[in-house]
Structures are given as structure tokens and as C-alpha cells.
């Protein structure tokens, strides 16, 4: 008996029991769909992370207060960075192009009878270039506004919509913690980054933030929440980090552990990719359990099939079929069930990824490697779990089979 004939017979046998064959494939279908979906969503999460980090600004480094260890142990933000640190970096670190210190605070913002709570960022004019913000209407504040402690504000689009609906906010006056500010600009929508909505923010001059809203909090200068730094170019990032570390250690008279942390986009992205890759692998491994369960289901049904077809096996062996013929017959049936379930599962997984891409911000993609892996595993499961039933069928004695049928 050739292989083509065996495939025809196996297909005919499986189609004769459509419901049982469909239920047998269910575990394989669910397993393949889950694996394809989880891997696709994981890759989509990595793509989203790369996109969000890119939106923070090119060649950007972030200096945050507190050492890496202390930031993990405490619940409040350490106060170890001051405005004078940012000014020293801008003057003394040659590998740095621009510096933008900032003070962050959550405050109540009012316009007439409308009120909302949003993030207020006190910063410098360099913020737009360091963090890649664009102005849609009006302007950003300048050095003159900083020196004169002008009460001017630039709104992000989501906050502008909350307060002004569809009106142009430029030229209007708002109140932040009972202090009046004139809106001079509106930023272009930038989106959210890791839970922080950059579009629900108001920007004001850092000196005004200090003098009007937060007050003096350090005997060494004006405390800042973050210092954003742009390096001269991509090749200067390591040099900028090294030079800033040495400068801040001298300024803070540090002997042992640093009281600040410098983070680059590359480092943060590597950490993010490690986390998302680990989660993707874990989810894919969990989803693969259903493939194993599906394989057991195939083996169980094939064993039942051997019992039901004892007379058929006896007749075939009595008229000359060899053990290899019987073994091949049942192995092909198991592989057909696995491969068919795999194809259906891959199609369902691909469809779920398309839906995720439509209804969520994740740019989930159908990974060719995941498709190849799922198809290979499905075929392998059919071979592996089909061996026991096939061997049992092949080893039946024809006389015993005919007599007990």
C-alpha cells in the first residue's frame, strides 16, 4: 500500500466521524490559536514600547533623584537634585547639547465654572526640543518669561479639551491653585507613555512654578523632579552619562553610593524588551499546555478507534496487509487530525491578532516564526501521540482480531 492510498483511507475514515474528529482537534485548535495570539501580542507590546520611548526624544537621558536601590525601597521621591545641577551640566558637560530641568506637581486647574486635576510641569524653553514637543497654536514660553517669572501657560490638547471644549485656548486665562495664568500656546498631541498621559498636562516657567506653586523645599537650591538631557548625538550618549556622573558626584560630595540615577532610552528599552520577552515566553508556554492536552485527546480517540476497528484490522492483515501498513494508516490519521487542527488554530490566532490591532493600541503582528513553530509542533504532536495507538493496531494478531470482533 502506498502513502497516497493510506492518506485517502485515513481521510475517509476521519470524515465518517466528523463530530468526533472535530472534538478531537479542539485542543490542538485552542493551543495553536493561543500560541499565535500570545506571541503576536507580545511582539506588539515590544513595538509599542519602542514607539513610546522614541517619542521621548532622540538621544535623551534622564537624571532622577535617588540611587537605583533607594528608589526601589522608598515610597516618596528623594529630593537630591536641584536646579543648579541642571545649570552646571549645561555649562560644563561638552557631550550634552541641551538640558531641561522640570518640577512636576498635581494641581487643580480652573477655567470659569470648569475644574479638573492635571499634571503641572514647571520647566525651561529647552523642554520642547529635548522631549520632542511641537507647538500647534501660539508659542512656548522663552527665557524672558523665565527671568520675569511670567504667569504664562502652555496647554496639552487633552487638558485644553477638558477646559475649553472646541474653543481656542490661546489668550484665555486659567487658574492653577488660585493663581491666574494666561494661556500662550497649545502643544501637538503626543500620546501616553507608560501610564503618563503627556496630553493631559500644563507647562509653566520653572521659576514661576517655584515661586507661585511649590515654594522653596531645599537649602541648597530649587528641588527638581527630573532633568532631561539630550546628547550631542547617538555616539555621545555614553560620554555624556560618564561626564554627568562625575560632575554630580563632585557637586554632591559623594563618596560611596550615588544619590541620583541616570537612565538612557537604550537602557530603559532593554529592560522593557527583557520584561515583555519574558512575559511573551511565559504566556506562550502556558498556551502550549493546551497543545499537550490536545495531543492526549488525539491518543485517547485513536485508542478507541483501534478498539472499534478490530475486525477491519484483522481483515486487512488476513489479506496481506503488513504491520507497517497498519502502523502507517493510524499514524497518518493522527497527523491529519493534528495538522488540520493546527491550520484552523493558526487561522483563528491570526484573526484574533487582527482584532487586537483594530481595537487596542498594540500593533500586534502575525509572526512567521510563530506560525512555523505552531505548525511544526502540531505535526510533531500527531506523530508523538499517534505512536502508541498505531503500534497497538499494528501488533494485533489477525486471527485473534477476527475471532474477537
Q: State the pLDDT at residue 89.
A: 94
Q: State the pLDDT at residue 243.
A: 92
Pairing of strands 201-205, 196-197: unpaired
Three cell numbers written together for 214: 511649590
For cell 484665555, name the residue. 172
Inter-residue contact 243 to 93 (CB < 8 Å): yes
Inter-residue contact 394 to 347 (CB < 8 Å): no
- Walking along the chain (405 residues) 10 residues at a time, the average pLDDT comes out as 74 82 83 82 75 66 79 57 92 92 92 92 93 92 92 95 91 92 93 73 93 72 88 86 92 86 75 75 75 80 76 74 77 83 87 83 74 77 76 70 58
* Gyration radius of the chain over CA positions: 33
For cell 538640558, name the residue. 99
Say what the pTM is.
0.64
CA distance 137 to 215: 30
Q: State the pLDDT at residue 401.
A: 58
Three cell numbers written together for 381: 504532536
Q: State the pLDDT at residue 235.
A: 83
CA distance 165 to 254: 50
Q: State the pLDDT at residue 75.
A: 47
For CA atoms 1, 313, 324, 21, give the dihedral sign. Answer: positive
Inter-residue contact 64 to 260 (CB < 8 Å): yes
Give burial (CB, 10 Å; 0-12/13-18/19+) of 387.
middle
Q: State the pLDDT at residue 290.
A: 74
Smallest Cα–Cα separation from 179: which of 158, 205, 216? 205
Three cell numbers written together for 402: 477476527
CA distance 95 to 247: 13
Amino acid at each position: 500500500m502506498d502513502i497516497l492510498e493510506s492518506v485517502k483511507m485515513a481521510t475517509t475514515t476521519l470524515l465518517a466521524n466528523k463530530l468526533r474528529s472535530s472534538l478531537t482537534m479542539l485542543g490542538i485548535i485552542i493551543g495553536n490559536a493561543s500560541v499565535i495570539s500570545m506571541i503576536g501580542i507580545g511582539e506588539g507590546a515590544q513595538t509599542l514600547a519602542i514607539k513610546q520611548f522614541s517619542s521621548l526624544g532622540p538621544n535623551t537621558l534622564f537624571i532622577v533623584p535617588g540611587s537605583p536601590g533607594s528608589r526601589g525601597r522608598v515610597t516618596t521621591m528623594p529630593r537630591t537634585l536641584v536646579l543648579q545641577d541642571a545649570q552646571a551640566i549645561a555649562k560644563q558637560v561638552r557631550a550634552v547639547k541641551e538640558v531641561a530641568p522640570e518640577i512636576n506637581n498635581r494641581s487643580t486647574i480652573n477655567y470659569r465654572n470648569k475644574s479638573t486635576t492635571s499634571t503641572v510641569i514647571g520647566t525651561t524653553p529647552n523642554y520642547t526640543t529635548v522631549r520632542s514637543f511641537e507647538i500647534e497654536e501660539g508659542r512656548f514660553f522663552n527665557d524672558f518669561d523665565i527671568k520675569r517669572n511670567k504667569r504664562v501657560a502652555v496647554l496639552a490638547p487633552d487638558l485644553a479639551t477638558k477646559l475649553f471644549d472646541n474653543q481656542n485656548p490661546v489668550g484665555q486665562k486659567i487658574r492653577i491653585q488660585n493663581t491666574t495664568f494666561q494661556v500662550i500656546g497649545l502643544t501637538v498631541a503626543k500620546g501616553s507613555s507608560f501610564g503618563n498621559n503627556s496630553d493631559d498636562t500644563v507647562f509653566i516657567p520653572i521659576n514661576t512654578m517655584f515661586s507661585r506653586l511649590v515654594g522653596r523645599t531645599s537649602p541648597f537650591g530649587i528641588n527638581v523632579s527630573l532633568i532631561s538631557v539630550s546628547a550631542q548625538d547617538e555616539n555621545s550618549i555614553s560620554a555624556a552619562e560618564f561626564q554627568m556622573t562625575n560632575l554630580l558626584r563632585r557637586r554632591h560630595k559623594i563618596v560611596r553610593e550615588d544619590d541620583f540615577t541616570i537612565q538612557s532610552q537604550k537602557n530603559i528599552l532593554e529592560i522593557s524588551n527583557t520584561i515583555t520577552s519574558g512575559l511573551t515566553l511565559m504566556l506562550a508556554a502556558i498556551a502550549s499546555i493546551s497543545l499537550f492536552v490536545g495531543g492526549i485527546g488525539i491518543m485517547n480517540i485513536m485508542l478507541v478507534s483501534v478498539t472499534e476497528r478490530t475486525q477491519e484490522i484483522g481483515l486487512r492483515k488476513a489479506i496481506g496487509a503488513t504491520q507497517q501498513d497498519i502502523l502507517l494508516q493510524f499514524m497518518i490519521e493522527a497527523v491529519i487530525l493534528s495538522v488540520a487542527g493546527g491550520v484552523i488554530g493558526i487561522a483563528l490566532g491570526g484573526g484574533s491578532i487582527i482584532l487586537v490591532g483594530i481595537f487596542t493600541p498594540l500593533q500586534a503582528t502575525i509572526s512567521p516564526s510563530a506560525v512555523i513553530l505552531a505548525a511544526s509542533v502540531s505535526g510533531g504532536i500527531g506523530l508523538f501521540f499517534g505512536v502508541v495507538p498505531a503500534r497497538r493496531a499494528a501488533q494485533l494478531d489477525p486471527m485473534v482480531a477476527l475471532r474477537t470482533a
